[in-house]
Structure 1
Amino acid sequence: MTTLSGVARKTQRSWLDPSTWHLRTRLVLVAMALLVAICGAVGIVSYASMDTVFNRQLDKQLEQASTRANAFDRPPSSFPSGRPDPLEARGQGAGTLNARIDGSIVRSGGLIDADGNRAPLSAQDEQVLLGLPLDNRPVDRSLSKGDYRLVAVKTAYGDVIVTGLPLDDKQTTEASLVWTMVFVSLGGLVLIGLAGTVIIRRTMRPLEQLSEVATKVSRLPLDAGEVALAVRVPPSASHPGTEVGSVGYALNQMLNNVARALEARQESETKVRQFVADASHELRTPLTAIRGYTEMLRMTENFTEDGRKSLARVQSQSERMTTLVEDLLLLARLDEGQPLKLTDVDLTQLVIETVSDEKVMAPDHIWQLRLPDQPITVRGDATQLHQVLANLLSNARKHTDPGTTVVTGVMISADGSAVVTVTDNGPGIPADFQGRIFSRFARADSARSGSEGTSGLGLSIVESIVGAHGGSVEVTSKPGRTEFALRLPCVTVEHA
């Protein structure tokens, strides 16, 4: 029995396998994947473009601040008390960093805070400034006060003036741009997913209609009987002008052809059944005459030993042909759907009587019964149900060796049906024959070791009669155990 966890594992495996997804699911996912790729490409290009623009603006401002700081520098002889501090240059804005490096020492430096006051540099910041390249190209570095864009310019006096501007504004703007694009992209994905699902579902509706029609046709019993193949693809999904419409139109044409073929097959089957019924009915009279004259000759004439054997052979074959004709006539009546003579049938008593009759005919077999404590009643034709049991028991007798045990059981199944089983411990039925064992004239004499010949109609009659009673019959067989199980609707269970 399949457990819930097993179902969950199967469902999980199917979701992990793209080949099991619906086509509309794939289309929606492809559309969303394309949108993600487009949004990603647009975001990368936009971010790179804005970063370039901001860097240019910042480099221009940095160049101006560096020019002011370098213009403020003077030769040492001009300042007896010491070199000027670049931070004292005019026009330097808040956040600007300036430092003067003499050799490997930062002589002076700091940055201007938001209040216009000077903030000193830490020792770690000074080490970062000492490692700047002297190629007049701006570079980004992380300092204790944040990220800065710095440029180091060597002056004509031999020292180096470092100028830097904070990257906070640039980074804040770029972060806002990134989050804006992320939220817009997510919103677009949600809208595309919802709208795409609705649009694709409506677009794929004709394909679903084709699938529904094909599924309905696949479930119809087309193998026998009169079949009304009335299902068709609706006109909205069968316009030849579109791809899906062309498929729907072709499917309707195919169904029309199949319907015509089924009508021809039904007409042919009806003619064959009528012929079999008429032929069987017409054969009954001459067969009865043959049997009568044979019996009269046996009683009134004197024959030699060979003559008596020949006459007995004629009588035996006429009786066998009579049985075959009666079977064919019964199948013809069942095929025509003639009404049954329904009465309440005590299935338990019927089994006892039928097994007793068969026991007299085959005393060399071991006949056993497994019956319930109370009678089981079904609604059916007692004569035909007796023939069903007789055919099954006769089948077990004819196709098994003497000494075989045949067990006939009656029970009530869990769904309330009456079940009759006929089980023997014979050699079994080949697996390749079990699928066609109920077909008419199906015989596999090598399957079981009995010596009596059969017409191949017995099990066909069993299936037809049980089907007419609203029941079913099935067979399971392996060497050492063969079981035929009949299921019939149960009317009442009368407690003894």
Structure 2
Amino acid sequence: MTTHHTPSPPGKRRWTKPKSWPLRTKLVLVTMALLTVIAAVLGSVLYATMDGVLSNDVDGQLRQASHRAAAGLGGPGGPTDPLDVRGQAAGTINVRLQGSTLLVQGMINPDGKRVSLNTSDVTKLALLATTPEMYGPGAAPVTRELSVGDYRLLATGTPDGDVIVTGLPLTGKNTALGALVLSTVLVAGSALVVCAVVGTWLIRRTLRPLAQLSAVAGHVAESRLDVGEVALGVRVPESATDPDTEVGSVGHAFNRMLDNVSGALAVRHASEMKARQFVADASHELRTPLTAIRGYSEMISLTENLSDQGKESLSRVQSQSLRMNTLVEDLLTLARLDEGQDLQGRPVDLVQLAVEEVMEKRAQDSGHDWRLSVPAGTLNAWADPARLRQVLVNLLTNAQKHTPEGTKVEVGVFSNDAGRPVITVTDDGPGIPEELQPEVFSRFTRADKARTGGSTGLGLSIVQAIVQAHDGRVSVESEPGRTRFTVELQAAEAPSSSASSAPA
């Protein structure tokens, strides 16, 4: 049997599988990822460049301050404290040591006044002054974290052998770098948001032809192309079929394919109509000679004195002519249904119909166990009474022919959850082979290998054609020991809610 895969609804699980993401989502995410990487690289380069520039500027100022402090000391009447040297800016730190002896220390605060450093800071600064490689020739400035903030420090020796440690605050540099990071993040973030919005709009606009093509393909996929006249009037819009673009070339090729398919379907329908017309004409023409064969054979059996072998041969002629007449009538019925013959629709009581047909079958065939399961009261369907009776007769005859004696055959009548009347014919026979089930309603389909009894192979085809003409549905479920045919029809009125089940 054919198995249909039902896709899971979109939701959380979809987003956990990147392969199932829409193309536009992937394009937007990839674009945003690339832009984010570019912004991060540019920001890092800009930060490193600015940090180097500011560091060089601070180091230049530090060397000048250190030089002023060392050069300004000594001499008759000159200052002995580096902080007293002219030109020292606010925030400057100076420490003077002679060997391991601290001579002076202090810092110029923002008000221009001298303040003392705490012991911890003096210890860190003295370490520079007592380490020759930190203040020898070619010594470079170093950064230390003091209690008053981050400082850039440089130790310089004086001609008299003392060591002066000069420091400048890094507050201005750090403030500038912080402002740079903040502005870079804000600008880059805003740019990414704008790019995401504009990029999403552009990608959606660019991929719109694919969405239009998908809609057309979905419409075609839902169309019945196997039978009847098919008009594939839907096409991809001209705006999405520019062969000079990649997406447009797909739409252009799809429209050409639909034109080709439409032509093939038109040829198929014309051929099908010719075949049906031939069958209808042939069936009409066969009725006259068949009627003559049956009439003459009956006349011979009544008027002629035949031998036993002659009587047997004549009986076979009558039997085969009757079988051929049934086949012709079935073909004519299908031909009328194919032509869309109008149905004489009116409310039909399915309970009464089921009771009458089951009772008639019980009278004709006592070898099967005929049963009924019907609701109390009536259950009406909108149908052509003669055609609907033919449906039930064909289903019961099918069960009678293809199941052995003793098989239980039950006719059920009920209303389904959608409020539509339903007829079921269920038997506990050997079942229909699984490979035959998809074709059981096709014309001239037989199950002689699995079930006994001859048939024309048109009974179930007529059932399907009549039910479809009533805008109904017919289906089959079969396995060894249980076969059920289900006919769903249009309701004529609200069915009765009470139901009962009892053998006929």
Report the TM-score when normalising by structure 2: 0.90
For residues 149-178 of structure 1, what are the alpha-carbon distances to aligned partners after superposition, in whole Å with 9 as ceiling and x for unaligned?
112234444443211111111111111111
User: How far 1:137 moved relative to its partner?
Assistant: 0.7
1:204 to 204, 207, 212: 207
1:397 aligned onto 2:400: yes
Contact 1:473 1:485 (C-alpha < 8 Å) held by counterparts: yes
Question: Structure 2 matches for 1:77-476, cutoff 5 A?
Answer: 84-104=80-100, 106-132=102-128, 133-134=134-135, 136-447=139-450, 450-476=451-477
SS at structure 2 position matched to 1:344: strand
User: How far 1:187 moved relative to its partner?
Assistant: 1.2
Report the TM-score when normalising by structure 1: 0.92
The 1:291–1:151 alpha-carbon spacing in structure 2 relative to 1, beyond 3 Å, is same
For residues 298-327 of structure 1, what are the alpha-carbon distances to aligned partners after superposition, in whole Å with 9 as ceiling and x for unaligned?
222233333322222222221111111111
AA at the equivalent of 1:465: I
Task: Report sequence identity in percent.
Answer: 53
For residues 235-275 of structure 1, what are the alpha-carbon distances to aligned partners after superposition, in whole Å with 9 as ceiling and x for unaligned?
22223232222222222211111111111011000000000
Contact 1:375 1:493 (C-alpha < 8 Å) held by counterparts: no
CA–CA separation in structure 1 for the residues paired with 2:157 and 2:289 = 133
1:484 aligned onto 2:454: no
For residues 361-403 of structure 1, what are the alpha-carbon distances to aligned partners after superposition, in whole Å with 9 as ceiling and x for unaligned?
3211111101111111222211111111011111112222221
User: How far 1:28 moved relative to its partner?
Assistant: 2.4
SS at structure 2 position matched to 1:454: coil
Contact 1:341 1:380 (C-alpha < 8 Å) held by counterparts: yes
User: How far 1:198 moved relative to its partner?
Assistant: 2.1
User: How far 1:407 moved relative to its partner?
Assistant: 1.1
CA–CA separation in structure 2 for the residues paired with 1:150 and 1:347 = 105
For residues 59-108 of structure 1, what are the alpha-carbon distances to aligned partners after superposition, in whole Å with 9 as ceiling and x for unaligned?
00000111122224459xx99xxx93332322211101111244455443
For residues 438-495 of structure 1, what are the alpha-carbon distances to aligned partners after superposition, in whole Å with 9 as ceiling and x for unaligned?
1111222334xx4211221111111100000111011112222211111001102476
SS at structure 2 position matched to 1:222: coil
CA–CA separation in structure 2 for the residues paired with 1:74 and 1:113 = 24
CA–CA separation in structure 1 for the residues paired with 2:83 and 2:244 = 80
User: How far 1:17 moved relative to its partner?
Assistant: 2.4
**Which piece of structure 1 moves more, 156-165 or 418-427?**
156-165
CA–CA separation in structure 1 for the residues paired with 2:328 and 2:334 = 10
**Which piece of structure 1 moves more, 406-415 or 244-253?**
244-253
CA–CA separation in structure 2 for the residues paired with 1:153 and 1:460 = 110
User: How far 1:337 moved relative to its partner?
Assistant: 0.3
CA–CA separation in structure 2 for the residues paired with 1:484 and 1:407 = 11
CA–CA separation in structure 2 for the residues paired with 1:120 and 1:444 = 111
For residues 102-149 of structure 1, what are the alpha-carbon distances to aligned partners after superposition, in whole Å with 9 as ceiling and x for unaligned?
445544322211112222222322333244434521111111011111
The 1:129–1:304 alpha-carbon spacing in structure 2 relative to 1, beyond 3 Å, is farther
CA–CA separation in structure 2 for the residues paired with 1:7 and 1:25 = 19
**Which piece of structure 1 moves more, 302-311 or 244-253?**
302-311
The 1:344–1:199 alpha-carbon spacing in structure 2 relative to 1, beyond 3 Å, is same
Contact 1:428 1:480 (C-alpha < 8 Å) held by counterparts: yes
SS at structure 2 position matched to 1:162: strand
Contact 1:375 1:494 (C-alpha < 8 Å) held by counterparts: yes
CA–CA separation in structure 2 for the residues paired with 1:115 and 1:430 = 104
For residues 172-206 of structure 1, what are the alpha-carbon distances to aligned partners after superposition, in whole Å with 9 as ceiling and x for unaligned?
11111111111111111121122222222222222
**Which piece of structure 1 moves more, 170-179 or 308-317?**
308-317
CA–CA separation in structure 1 for the residues paired with 2:25 and 2:281 = 60
Q: Quote the residue 2:22 is aligned against.
A: 22
CA–CA separation in structure 2 for the residues paired with 1:106 and 1:287 = 138
Contact 1:426 1:479 (C-alpha < 8 Å) held by counterparts: yes
CA–CA separation in structure 2 for the residues paired with 1:110 and 1:480 = 106
CA–CA separation in structure 2 for the residues paired with 1:130 and 1:478 = 98
CA–CA separation in structure 2 for the residues paired with 1:444 and 1:152 = 107
CA–CA separation in structure 1 for the residues paired with 2:163 and 2:289 = 134
User: How far 1:355 moved relative to its partner?
Assistant: 1.1
CA–CA separation in structure 1 for the residues paired with 2:300 and 2:183 = 113
SS at structure 1 position matched to 2:355: helix
AA at the equivalent of 1:457: L
AA at the equivalent of 1:374: G
The count of aligned residue pairs is 483
CA RMSD in angstroms comes to 2.2
Unmatched segments (≥5 aa) in structure 1: 1-5
Q: Quote the residue 1:3 is aligned against.
A: none
Unmatched segments (≥5 aa) in structure 2: 1-6, 129-133, 499-504
The 1:72–1:329 alpha-carbon spacing in structure 2 relative to 1, beyond 3 Å, is same
CA–CA separation in structure 1 for the residues paired with 2:393 and 2:431 = 19
SS at structure 1 position matched to 2:435: helix
Contact 2:419 2:494 (C-alpha < 8 Å) held by counterparts: no
AA at the equivalent of 2:479: K
User: How far 1:280 moved relative to its partner?
Assistant: 1.0
The 1:90–1:468 alpha-carbon spacing in structure 2 relative to 1, beyond 3 Å, is same
AA at the equivalent of 2:215: E
